[in-house]
């Protein structure tokens, strides 16, 4: 039997997400946002939830926060097409409110399955919601982004070494130059480690 590629597996999950009615967000969304990018990437970015433009277009990080992310990635020499980007929630909460516990519980299995398919070497958590979830998954305490950012957390997932880089959500950096600098510094750290591992392989 022919092995299903990562791309095919991720697309199958994406189709489920587009048809999902597991929580009330299905009633208010325009488009679900499964995520997109290189299925074979070593790097996965995880945000919180789709915003206005993501809900319109069905793609992650295409609004103002996405422009900040693209700008910072460009500065450090990473192309958006090289990575995979998704969110904890796949549908926009009304008025961009915080995700509710029941919504996260309904949606998080999709993220778990995406990560299981990709088995990335690096996970970048953008903001407190994705950081808190990934830290709970790896059994580490989480209190705030400012206390855990600035270093790569080395953990074991899927039987291999994974580097978790928590950092600020690009939306928080929209009007705060200092947070934007911190976001760039964190992603430079990621790029440095990525380059180092690629030289060794």
pLDDT of the residue at 138? 86
H/E element, 190: helix 177-200
pLDDT in tens, the chain (201 residues): 456 799 999 999 999 999 999 999 999 999 999 999 999 999 999 999 999 999 999 999 999 999 999 999 999 999 999 999 999 999 999 999 999 999 999 999 999 999 999 999 999 999 999 999 999 988 888 999 999 999 999 998 888 899 999 999 999 999 899 999 999 999 999 999 999 988 876
SS3 state of residue 24:
coil
Question: What is this structure's pTM?
Answer: 0.95
CATH superfamily of 6-200: Uracil-DNA glycosylase-like domain (3.40.470.10)
Q: Quick one: tokens of 186?
A: 């964190």
In 113-192, where do the E strands start and end? 122-126, 153-157, 160-167
57: left (phi over 0), alpha (psi -120 to 50) or beta: alpha
Break the chain into its structural domains and give their ranges.
6-200
């Amino acid at each position: 039997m022919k092995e299903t590629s990562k791309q095919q597996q991720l697309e199958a999950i994406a189709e489920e997400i587009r048809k999902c009615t597991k929580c009330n967000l299905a009633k208010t969304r325009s488009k679900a946002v499964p995520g997109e990018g290189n299925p074979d990437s070593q790097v996965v970015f995880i945000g919180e939830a789709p915003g206005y433009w993501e809900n319109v277009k069905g793609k992650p990080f295409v609004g103002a926060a996405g422009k900040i992310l693209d700008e910072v990635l460009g500065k450090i020499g990473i192309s958006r097409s090289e990575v995979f980007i998704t969110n904890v929630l796949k549908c926009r909460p009304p008025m961009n409110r915080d995700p509710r516990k029941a919504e996260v519980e309904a949606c998080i299995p999709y993220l778990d399955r995406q990560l299981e398919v990709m088995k990335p070497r690096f996970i970048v958590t953008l903001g407190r919601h994705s950081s808190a979830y990934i830290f709970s998954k790896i059994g580490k305490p989480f209190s705030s982004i400012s206390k855990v950012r600035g270093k790569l957390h080395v953990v074991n997932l899927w039987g291999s070494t994974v580097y978790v880089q928590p950092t600020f959500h690009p939306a928080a950096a929209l009007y705060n130059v200092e947070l934007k600098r911190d976001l760039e510094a964190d992603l430079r750290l990621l790029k440095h480690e990525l380059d180092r591992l690629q030289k060794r392989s």
